[in-house]
Amino acid sequence: MVAKLKDVAQLAGVSVTTVSRVINNYGSLSQKTINKVHAAMRELNYQPNALARAMQGKPSKFVGLIFPNLINPFFAELANELEHELFKKGYKTIIASSAQNPEIEHEYLNMLMANQVDGIISGSHNLGIEEYHQLTAPIVSFDRYLADNIPIVAADSYHGGELAAKYLVEHDVKHLAVIVDEDTSVSPTINRIQGALDFLNKQKRDFEPLAIQHLDLEATFPGNYDGVLASNDVQALTISNLYYQAGKQINKDFFITGYDGSRLIRKVAPYLPTVIQPISLLAQELIETLMKRIETPHEKIETKLVPVEFYQPK
């Protein structure tokens, strides 16, 4: 049976009003009384109703997180860092994986707003989600344009692409494949690929763009490519495995670069050169921007660009 406010009051030996004041941090109460109420709440596993608090005009202390998936180590680590840092600020999180499906994202947005979350951090990869243009709740976007009134925190993807291309040029790759995404939105993938292509063109280096939407990795690699600029770490490791099966050694017989540089990937595949998106700094900027959005909802906030770095195996 779900515990109610009066059950907490009875166990703590105080009035219902006192329990409510403790929960809402309202008025002056002795620390002894506060401790008694908290102890009763823990014993009964009582959870304050966030929706009821919101309906009374009080913060729900919930933040919604939307990411395309949590299979990719980068998104999993970023979501974990955000959850940890938000908890330290007194917020709990509702994490949603949109599975790169607009319908699922529609449903999650409706669910988050129905639960009256105080704000949303979205790393959505779905385009044309009309709700983002209509929602009045504080929202911050990670790495992608969602609507004119939604501030963006982004990694410097363009420079990341330059760094990846620079590594391959320095290793004198002769037959370079560049994995490209035909996504025409204002996305980080487009920015990082543009940075790589601009660098390669300035260096007068030949390369072959391969559209991921039409690419059969097993039929394409190794081929005659001695270099590959991959879109992300998971993709880079998948391609590297095809070279390994063909008897080729990474960083010797061929060169490849990943992108994201999550802690997990660097631990299990320390041999993979990759561009590191700094998860802790990104989480910090996303949370600071959201808090500012909550406090001053109508103030214009400029895009925040977070620097990246290149990891090169020793």
Domain ranges of the chain: 5-48, 62-154+279-306, 157-276
The least confident of 44-58, 158-172, 249-263 is 44-58
Contacts of 212 (CB under 8 A, 6+ apart): 179, 180, 181, 182, 231, 235
The architecture in CATH of the region 157-276 reads: 3-Layer(aba) Sandwich (3.40)
d(CA 266, CA 312): 10
Contacts of 65 (CB under 8 A, 6+ apart): 79, 82, 83, 93, 94, 95, 96, 120, 121, 122, 123
d(CA 66, CA 100): 11
Q: How confident is the model at residue 225 (pLDDT cuts 50, 70, 90)?
A: very high
The architecture in CATH of the region 62-154+279-306 reads: 3-Layer(aba) Sandwich (3.40)
Q: What is the mean pLDDT of the chain?
A: 87
310: left (phi over 0), alpha (psi -120 to 50) or beta: beta
Buried b (16+ CB within 10 A) or exposed e, 110-124: eebeeebbbbbbbbb
Provide the CB-side half-sphere exposure for 69 (13 A, CA): 6
Query: Is 157-276 the same fold as 62-154+279-306?
Result: yes
Which percentage of the chain shows pLDDT scores above 70? 87
Q: Can you tell me the mean pLDDT for 248-272?
A: 97
Residues for the chain: how many in total? Answer: 314
The backbone torsions φ and ψ at residue 188, rounded to the nearest 5 degrees and listed phi first, read -65, -30
User: Does the pLDDT of residue 1 top 80, yes or no?
Assistant: no
> Which pLDDT tens digit goes with each residue over 167-176?
999 999 999 9
Long-range contacts, stretch 215-219, CB < 8 angstroms, 24+ apart? 215/179, 217/242, 218/242
- Taking CA atoms, 202 is separated from 196, 205, 230, in Å, by 10, 8, 20
**The two structure tokens encoding residue 103:** 């319908």
User: Does the pLDDT of residue 275 top 90, yes or no?
Assistant: yes
